[in-house]
């Protein structure tokens, strides 16, 4: 396999202008007739037409109705001499039932559906399958012989009927689009219908297609579509451009969802919710992902990508937009804190791994490997920094100028940046390094007081460790949001700090002076204004002061997190020796103060985030070398000590705050979240106090007395993870209630795969033989081997090495079934060099075995070979 380089981009020799497809659907032998109009773009009259095609059977091919000479190659067909404008007519066959990779046309639980991004269209028919070839599509779908409920494609329905006993439908999309935005769906669904009247008074028909019998579970997604449309108009002035908008939920899907023009296809996990079967987080995620795909209509579909190296152009902007949507319609602090957690956990891990890559990568072997937290989430942080630098109104103007200027075009990140520079009157030349340099910047802060000038003197420095692709890093340009707190906890605003509230760090070392009283405390990196690791010498008292008085959600939570981190780092050696750790007295005091003052009027979501003991995965990212056993030991000691010391407060909290209804609302999400945290801490405390039976009773009661899945799942998790007596009863009850409902039942697998000790490995082994385990369903794989890999660092890294062996066995089985999913769950093994020698050796053996696999997929090859370099 060979990598492609970003700088190798060449404009296409030909473009397609009109594509007319006729699908005659059949489970194993679907016939695709493809009539495409091509136009030469190059001045080279001898340039051949090269069409991409993979795993297709070509029946015939004609150019302008004539049998031209052409060559079939491994990757498609090559037609050596063609006129400047011409029509290719061809027919090919595909086998949707045999397509387990879920790229191209496949069958998902009885439904025909497609996934074309990034390069799936070439598995449907021969084409110029690249994002800079935009054509108009007309699509005729003839249903399978056994019948079919609905036949869908992008755009407007032109005709529908029955011919020769088979249903058919003809669709036309008025907007030229790249092949990756093509979609086809055929199946039998319940349909949730509604309308939306746009800001100019146009009526848009909305249709949401869900499993038969699951109508009710689609209602929240439909509401979310309308909320997204309204928000995009209100915040950015963007009005929907088609007469209809369709969303389909399918069960087997590699991504979360896909933004095909006018016909979004969703993993059903991001559509199907009701309070009895889905958690508050699931509701929140449905709203956010519906928003994300809808917002792509402008940022991605109307203005698309020149090539896949530009992926972050559409994803970062759209993630930023969906985060702002969730912030405006759900909860800003929660949305921001979740986003920050993704950066400080998986994104920092990716930066520190052999697969570290810039937000605009330079080299790619398999594009599916680059749908990463760096491209998406770090990319969104970059967009957020631009928003910080230029402010909302200039950002809005620049976004509109960009969408207007490049409407209908395939462009680059550079085009986007130039447009923003021009529109907002800002110089982003140094800022561009965020796109070209991989790695996490470390920012170090210190401050002194200059008595003579009454100045607080702040020093900031930045340093980014080398990554494999770049040894030397130039300084980044970053906005550092600041505020200052006096001794009484009041905000003071020195004259030197602009009204925007940020300073710029753009050199390796800089000094800033602020006219302030002595003992004023600088609050640095409010709202996590740049995606960096900050090292600031706050004393514990100063952290407590900020936690009490600072009005920034991130800073509050970060003060608690920093206290936790310090405790873990200070005690790591003791933890490594499995000795007794002292109490985290200051953290407990701060938490006690918070718990004593909580009432139903408090900002429960924020308080809950502040009280959380951070995950082992995020803790790992605060270390260069990872001693997983010591981190786990210290983490558990910290949690237990907090729980035991404050058990009375948690018991009181548990009795005090209850959701008002079993339904989803942002307010009740907060009430349930804090109530569930209290339950967890009580259960942890009781276990540590030799009162495991009490823990079991309260957890079982929690499970049985609630009708809401958030509560039930919390109880099931605590029962299983703390190995409580009620575990068997709860698991049995859950299985009885939900085993026929794949989406909900995924939780049964996930909870057991994430027990934070070795027993998770046995659970996974056992559950692989569960009658409802299906290795072809990506959600199920992600809930079992995926959960072990990505959400259970303790069991995965168990010193027995069984976690590695089990994961690699699953990866090798998946290599033939679904390489994209296989490569994704392989990720944590790539960072093996950060572990101890014994674990390194065991992972290395497994990675070497993977490399020896016959027919090793390109996705796995790229990741493993990069890690082994
Ligand atoms: N474009 C792939 C799925 C998403 O990011 O929306
Ligand atoms: Zn996206």
Backbone angles phi, psi at 862, to 5 degrees: -60, -45
What atom in ligand 1 is closest to the CA of residue 315? 5
Q: What average pLDDT does the chain have? A: 98
| Burial class of residue 490 in the structure, from the number of CB atoms within 10 Å of its CB (0-12 exposed, 13-18 middle, 19+ buried) | exposed
Tell me the mean pLDDT in the region 731-750: 98
Q: What is the pLDDT of residues 87-99, one digit of tens each?
A: 999 999 999 999 9
DSSP bridge partners of 244: 205
Q: Which ligand is nearest to the CA of 180?
A: 1
Ligand 1 neighbours (beta carbon < 6 A): 117, 255, 257-259, 292-293, 296, 315
Among residues 867, 830, 869, 865, the alpha carbon closest in space to that of 2 is found at: 865
Catalytic residues: 293
CA of 247 to the centre of ligand 1 (A): 14
- State the alpha helices, DSSP H only, in 658-741: 666-688, 692-705, 709-721, 727-738
Site to substitute for ligand 1 among 116, 177, 178, 256, most atoms within 8 A of C-beta:
256
Query: Quick check: 37 pLDDT over 90?
Result: yes
Q: Measuring from atom 4 of ligand 1, which residue has the nearest CA?
A: 258
Q: Give 308-351 pLDDT, tens digit per residue.
A: 999 999 999 999 999 999 999 999 999 999 999 999 999 999 99
Q: For the chain, what is the largest distance between any 2 Cα atoms, rounded to a whole number of angstroms? A: 94
Pick the residue whose CA is nearest to atom 1 on ligand 1: 258
104: left (phi over 0), alpha (psi -120 to 50) or beta: left
DSSP structure string for 572-635? HHHHHTT-PPPP-HHHHHHHHHHHHH--TTS-HHHHHHHHPPPPHHHHHTT-SS--HHHHHHHH
- The DSSP element (H or E) to which 538 belongs, if any, is none
Task: Find the 318 Cα to ligand 1 centroid distance in Å.
Answer: 9
CB atoms within 10 A of CB 467: 20
Report, in this order, helix, strand and coil percent for the chain, each rounded to 5. 45, 20, 35
Q: How many CB atoms lie within 10 A of CB 778?
A: 25
Which homologous superfamily is 305-436 in? Neutral Protease Domain 2 (1.10.390.10)
709 has a pLDDT exceeding 90: yes
Q: Which of 268, 314, 319 is nearest to 118 (CA)?
A: 314
How do residues 148-201 score in pLDDT, each as one tens digit? 999 999 999 999 999 999 999 999 999 999 999 999 999 999 999 999 999 999
**Is residue 14 within 8 Å of residue 130, measured between CB atoms?**
no
Place of tokens 């060979």: 2
Helix pair angle (759-767, 742-753), 10° resolution? 150
For position 476, what pLDDT does the model report? 99
Q: Ligand 1 centre and the CA of 252: distance in Å?
A: 15
Q: Is the dihedral of CA 544, 643, 618, 316 positive or negative?
A: negative
**Fold designation for 4-188:** Immunoglobulin-like (2.60.40)
Q: Which numbered ligand comes closest to the C-alpha of 118?
A: 1
Distances (CA, A) of 404 to 302, 401, 423, 428, 476: 10, 5, 12, 21, 30
CA of 738 to the centre of ligand 1 (A): 29
User: Which atom of ligand 1 sits closest to the CA of residue 257?
Assistant: 3
* CA 147 to ligand 1 centroid distance, Å: 31
Q: Which of 180, 183, 257 to mutate to test the pocket of ligand 1 (most atoms within 8 A of CB)?
A: 257
Ligand 1 pocket test, candidate residues 116, 131, 293, 300, most atoms within 8 A of CB = 293
The domain locations on the chain are: 4-188, 305-436, 442-543, 743-869
- The CA 56 to ligand 2 mean position distance, Å, reads 28
Q: What is the DSSP letter of 107?
A: E
Q: Supply the residue whose CA is at minimum distance from atom 3 of ligand 1.
A: 258
Q: What is the mean pLDDT of residues 590-601?
A: 95
Q: Give the closest residue (by CA) to ligand 1 atom 5.
A: 315
| Homologous superfamily of 743-869 | Peptidase M1, alanyl aminopeptidase, C-terminal domain (1.25.50.10)
Distance between Cα 114 and ligand 2 center (Å): 16
Summarize pLDDT for 229-285 with one digit per residue, the tens. Answer: 999 999 999 999 999 999 999 999 999 999 999 999 999 999 999 999 999 999 999
What the block records as the tokens of 36 is: 């495409």
Residue 481, φ and ψ in degrees, nearest 5: -70, 135
Percent of the chain residues topping a pLDDT of 70: 100
Residue nearest to atom 2 of ligand 1 (CA): 258
Burial 335-372 (b: 16+ CB within 10 A, else e): bbbbbbbbbbbbbbbbbbbbbbbbbbbbebbbbbbbbb
112 CA to centre of ligand 2 in angstroms: 22
- pLDDT of 600 strictly over 90: no
- CA 262 – CA 258 distance, rounded (Å): 11
Packing angle between helix 553-570 and helix 332-342, nearest 10 degrees?
40
Same fold, 4-188 and 442-543: yes
Q: What stretches of 199-347 show up as alpha helix (H) in DSSP?
A: 219-236, 280-295, 311-329, 332-342
Mean pLDDT, range 801-809, rounded to an integer:
98
Residue 258 CA, closest ligand 1 atom number: 3
Q: How much is the pLDDT for 16?
A: 98
Ligand 2 is a single-atom ion; what residues have CB below 5 A from it? 315, 318
Q: Are strands 502-505 and 257-258 parallel, antiparallel or unpaired?
A: unpaired
Please name the CATH architecture into which domain 442-543 falls. Answer: Sandwich (2.60)
**271, 296, 318, 375: residue to mutate for ligand 1 pocket, most atoms within 8 A of CB:** 296
For ligand 1, pick from 263, 371, 377 the residue to mutate: most ligand atoms within 8 Å of CB: 371
Distance 255 CA to ligand 1 centre (A): 7
Phi-psi region of 31 (alpha: psi -120 to 50; beta: other; left: phi over 0): beta
The 8-class DSSP code of residue 68 comes to -
């Amino acid at each position: 396999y060979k990598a492609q380089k970003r700088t190798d981009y060449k404009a296409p020799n030909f473009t397609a202008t009109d594509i007319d497809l006729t699908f005659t659907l059949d489970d194993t032998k679907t016939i695709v007739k493809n009539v495409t109009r091509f136009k030469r773009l190059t001045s080279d009259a001898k340039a051949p037409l090269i069409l991409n095609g993979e795993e297709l059977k070509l029946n015939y091919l004609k150019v302008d109705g004539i049998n031209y000479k052409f060559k079939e190659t491994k990757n498609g067909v090559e037609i050596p001499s063609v006129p400047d404008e011409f029509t290719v007519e061809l027919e090919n066959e595909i086998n949707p039932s045999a397509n387990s990779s879920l790229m191209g046309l496949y069958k998902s639980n009885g439904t025909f559906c497609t996934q074309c991004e990034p390069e799936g269209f070439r598995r449907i028919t021969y084409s110029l399958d690249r994002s800079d070839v935009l054509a108009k599509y007309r699509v005729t779908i003839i249903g399978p012989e056994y019948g079919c409920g609905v036949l869908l494609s992008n755009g407007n329905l032109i005709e529908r009927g029955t011919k020769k006993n088979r249903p058919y439908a003809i669709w036309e999309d008025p907007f030229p689009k790249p092949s990756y935005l093509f979609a086809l769906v055929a199946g039998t669904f319940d349909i949730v219908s509604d309308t939306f009247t746009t800001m100019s008074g146009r009526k848009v028909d909305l249709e949401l297609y869900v499993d038969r019998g699951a109508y009710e579970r689609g209602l929240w997604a439909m509401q979310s579509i309308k909320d997204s449309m309204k928000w995009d108009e209100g915040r950015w002035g963007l009005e929907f451009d088609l007469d209809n908008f369709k969303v389909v939920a399918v069960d087997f899907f590699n991504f979360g969802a896909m933004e095909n023009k006018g016909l979004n296809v969703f993993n059903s996990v991001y559509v199907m919710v009701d309070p009895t079967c889905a958690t508050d987080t699931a509701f929140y995620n449905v709203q956010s992902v519906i928003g994300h795909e809808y917002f792509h209509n402008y940022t991605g579909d109307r203005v698309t990508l020149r090539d896949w190296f530009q992926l972050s152009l559409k994803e970062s902007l759209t993630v930023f937009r969906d985060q702002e949507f969730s912030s405006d319609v759900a909860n800003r602090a929660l949305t921001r804190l979740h986003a920050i957690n993704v950066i400080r956990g998986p994104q920092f891990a990716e930066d520190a791994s052999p697969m570290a890559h810039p937000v605009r990568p330079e080299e790619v072997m398999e594009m599916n490997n680059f749908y990463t937290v760096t491209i998406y989430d770090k990319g969104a942080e970059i967009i957020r920094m631009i928003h910080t630098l230029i402010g909302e109104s200039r950002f809005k103007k620049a976004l509109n100028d960009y969408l207007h200027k490049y409407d209908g075009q395939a462009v680059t990140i550079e085009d986007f940046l130039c447009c923003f520079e021009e529109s907002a009157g800002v110089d982003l030349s140094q800022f561009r390094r965020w796109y070209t340099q991989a790695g996490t910047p470390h920012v170090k802060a210190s401050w002194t007081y200059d008595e003579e000038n009454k100045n607080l003197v702040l020093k900031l420095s930045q340093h980014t460790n080398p990554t494999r692709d770049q040894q030397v890093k130039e300084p980044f340009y970053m906005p550092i949001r600041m505020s200052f707190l006096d001794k009484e906890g009041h905000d003071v605003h020195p004259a030197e700090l602009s009204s925007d509230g940020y300073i710029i760090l753009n050199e390796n070392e800089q000094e800033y002076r602020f006219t302030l009283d002595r003992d004023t405390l600088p609050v640095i990196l409010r709202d996590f204004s740049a995606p960096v690791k900050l090292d600031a010498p706050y004393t514990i008292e100063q952290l407590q002061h900020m936690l009490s008085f600072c009005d920034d959600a991130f800073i509050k939570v970060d003060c608690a997190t920093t206290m936790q981190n310090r405790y873990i780092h200070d005690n790591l050696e003791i933890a490594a020796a499995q000795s007794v750790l002292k109490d985290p007295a200051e953290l407990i005091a701060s938490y006690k103060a918070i718990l004593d003052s909580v009432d139903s009027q408090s900002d429960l979501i924020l308080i809950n985030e502040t009280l959380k003991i951070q995950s082992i995965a995020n803790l790992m990212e605060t270390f260069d070398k990872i001693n997983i056993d010591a981190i786990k030991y210290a983490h558990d000691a910290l949690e237990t000590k907090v729980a035991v010391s404050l058990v009375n407060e948690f018991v009181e909290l548990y009795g005090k705050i209850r959701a008002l209804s079993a339904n989803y609302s942002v307010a009740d999400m907060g009430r349930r979240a804090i109530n569930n945290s209290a339950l967890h801490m009580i259960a942890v405390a009781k276990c540590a106090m030799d009162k495991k039976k009490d823990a079991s009773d309260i957890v079982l009661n929690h499970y049985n007395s609630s009708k809401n899945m958030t509560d039930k799942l919390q109880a099931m998790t605590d029962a299983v993870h703390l190995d409580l007596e009620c575990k068997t009863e709860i698991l049995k009850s859950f299985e009885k209630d939900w085993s026929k409902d794949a989406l909900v039942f995924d939780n049964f697998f996930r909870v057991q795969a994430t027990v934070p000790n070795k027993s998770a490995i046995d659970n996974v082994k056992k559950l692989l033989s569960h009658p409802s385990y299906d290795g072809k369903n990506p959600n199920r794989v992600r809930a079992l081997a995926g959960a072990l890999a990505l959400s259970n660092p303790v069991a995965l890294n168990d010193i027995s090495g069984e976690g590695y062996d089990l994961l690699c066995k699953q990866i090798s089985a998946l290599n033939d079934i679904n390489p994209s999913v296989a490569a994704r769950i392989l990720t944590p093994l790539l960072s093996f060099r950060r572990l101890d020698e014994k674990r390194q050796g065991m992972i290395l053996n497994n990675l070497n075995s993977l490399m020896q696999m016959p027919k090793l997929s390109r996705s796995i090859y790229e990741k493993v070979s990069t890690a082994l370099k």
